[in-house]
Structure 1
C-alpha cells in the first residue's frame, strides 16, 4: 500500500478524486437544500392560496355551512374561531397535527348560528349577519405537520391566515402537500448516490492516464540516469521531450548538470595526469642524483638535488592550495593593505638584472593574507620571468574596487592566448623549458583566488609592450554595503 501511494500517479489520482468528491458533496448538498426549499415554498404558496380563498368566503357567506371548501385530498382545511373552536373542516379529514387544533369535526354550538324563530327574528339575524366588510391578514403563518384524508396520511405545510369579519375573528388553516418535495429530494439523492461514485471513478481513471502519459518522459529520464550510473559514462545524455513544461526543463537541467559533471571529471583527470607528469620529472631527476651519489659520492650534485627538492615542495604546495580552492575554502575576513603587502613582498626578492618600479597607493581589501600573498608572488614571478629589464607594480583605488597591476616589458601575451594562460598546467611555447618556467599553475591559482575573493584577474597589453596583469578586488566598504 505504501509503495502504491508512493507513486506520483496514485497520489495525483487520489488527490483529484478527493477534491472532486468534496466539490460534489458540497454541490449536491446545495442542490438538495435548494430543491427542498423551493418545493417547500411551492407547497406553502398552494396552502396560502387555498387559505385565502376560504378566508374570502368568510367575508361573504351567511353561515359556515355555505363555505365551499376544496375537496382536493392534498389540501386539508380547518376554520377556527377566536375561541379556538373548529367551525368548518374538510369533509374527508380524519386526523391532523401541526395546526394547534386536533379536531376534525366542526363544533358550531355557540358560534353565532341560531334557529329561525319567525320572520322578525330572521330579519334581525340577517341584519346581524349581513356583511359590513372585513379584513384578511396579509402575512400568513407557516407550520409543518401531518394529516390523514380519506385514509391517506401525508406531511403538509400549513398556512394560517387571520380573518376579521362581522361574525367574528377566525383563523383559516390550509395545507399544501410535501409529497412532491420528498419524492423529488429522494430521487435526486438516489441519482447522486449512484452518479457520484461513477463520476469519481471516471475522474480517478482519467487522472491516472493523463498523469501516466505526462510522466512517461520522467521514466525515460530515470532509466537513462540509471544506465549512466551503472556505466559511469558521463558522455551520455537523458532524452529531452519536445515540450515546454517542467519535465522538459528538468531534462535540460539534468543534461546541463551531466555536462558540468563531465567537464569537472575530465578536468580532474587531466589535473591528476598533468600533476603526475610534473611530479615525475623532478622525482626521477632527484632519484638519479641520489643513486649516483650513493655509488659515487664525489659525483653527487647537491645543488641540483636541492633545486629538484625545492621544485617538488613548491609543486606540492600549489597542488594542495588548488585542492583547497576546489573544495570551496572560504577566503576569510582579514584586512590587507595591498601597498604595504607589495612592499613587503618586493623587499624579499632579488632583483638580478630586472628594474622594479612601483607606484603604490594605500588601499585595503578583505580576504586571506596567505592566498593573496600567493597571488602577488605568482604575478611577480611571472613578470620577472618574462621581463627584459623592467617590472612595474601599481596599487590604486578605482571606485568600489582595489586594483593591483603588475606589468613587464617582455614580449607580452598574444590575444588568442590571454584566457588559455589561466588554465592549469598550461605554458606557452616560449616558457616550456624547466629552467624558465614552473609547472603552469601560478596564473591558474592566482585567478582562482581572485574569483574566491569576489574579484577578477585579467591580462592585456602593457604600455611598454609586455603583459599587464590587473587584479581587481572589492574594497571592504563596498562589501559592507
Structure 2
C-alpha cells in the first residue's frame, strides 16, 4: 500500500471514528442494522407461519372433501384429488392398515401411526415419516362408517416448504433490507454534513481571521437558532480580543517611540564624552555603557517592529532580487566568520526590501553567533518558489526545539551562553515577515550545524 493510500485510509478512519459526523453515522448505521436484523427475523417467522398455515388449510380442505365423498359413497377404492388439493391422501383403519390411497401415496405406510393407535378423532400436526423425502402437514378425520368398515380415518398430507423452495424470499428480503440500511447510512452522513456546513464555514472564517487580523468578523446567519447565537458570541469575543490587542500594540508602539529619543540622546552624549582628547580612566565604562545603550536601542527597535507586524501595518511591496539583497546584507555584516555563497541571479520576489533585509540580517547574525568556522548562504529557485538557505557549522538546533526557537523571547541554553544579552526576538520577527509575504521559515535537517530555509513565492 502506497503512502498516499495509507494517508487516505487514515483520514477516512479518523473521520468515521473521531468526527461528530462519522460517529453519529456509525452509531445510526449500527442501530439501524440491529433493527433491520430483527425485522428480517420477524419477516422470516411470519413467512414461515403463513406458509405452514397455508399448507395446513390445504390439507384440512382436502381431508374434509374426501371424508364427505367417502361418507356419501362418491369415493371408493381409488381416491382422486384435485390439482389444487393435498396430493397425499390415505384411508387408514384403526389397526393402521392403509385401506385406500391417492396415486401419490400408494404403497406408503400410514403417515401418523402413533396417533392412530390412541384412537384419536382428529389429527392436525406436522409429521416427518420415513417413507417421505421431507416433512408434511397431516390433517385427519375419523369416520363412524365407511365402505372399509367403522372407525377408519381419512388423512390428507401436504409437503411443507423447505429453505430451498423459498430461497427467493429470504434473499430478496435481505437485499431490500441491505439497500435500506445503505440508504439510511448515506442519508445520515449527507444530512449531518449539510447540518455541519455552517460550522465548517465558521471554522474557515475564523482561520481567515487568524491569518489576516482580528479586525475581521464572521458572517452571522439569520436563522434565529444556535448557529446565530454562536457566531454572535464569536464576533463579540473577537471584538474584545481586538480591543485588547490594540491596547497592547499601542502601548508597545508608544513606549518604543518614547524610548527612542532619550536612548538616542544618551548615546550621543556618550559619544561626545568619548571624543574628549585625554585618556580618562572612566572611558572604558563609557564604552561599556554605549554597548548597553546600543543593545537597548536594538530591543526597542525589535519591539517596534513586532508591533508593526502584529498590526499588519502595510509596507511598500516591490520586486526584490534576493541575490542582490543577500550581497548587500553580507557587505554590512561583521565578517568575523568566513561566508561561502551560491547566489543564483534573477530570483525575484514581491516584498518590502527593508523587511526582507531584516530577515537576512537576523539569519546571518544568528549564524555568526553559532558557527565554528564557516557560513554558507544559498539563493536558488525550487518548484516556483525562491529559496534562501543560511547554514552554519555549529552545534545545530535539536529537533524537538526547532519550533521553539521561533517563539518570542525563547532562547536555548547554548544561545544564552554565546550571547547572554540577546532578546530572542530575531527569529520570530524573521518568520513573521516571511509569513506576511506568503512564505515560510523553518529549520531543516543538515549533516552539521543549523540550516535555516526561507521560502517565498516567486514574483
Q: What TM-score do you get using the length of structure 1 for normalisation?
A: 0.40
Given the two structures, how large is their TM-score scaled by the length of structure 2? 0.42
Q: Which has the higher contact order (CA 8 A, sep 6+)?
A: 1
Q: Which one has the largest radius of gyration?
A: 1
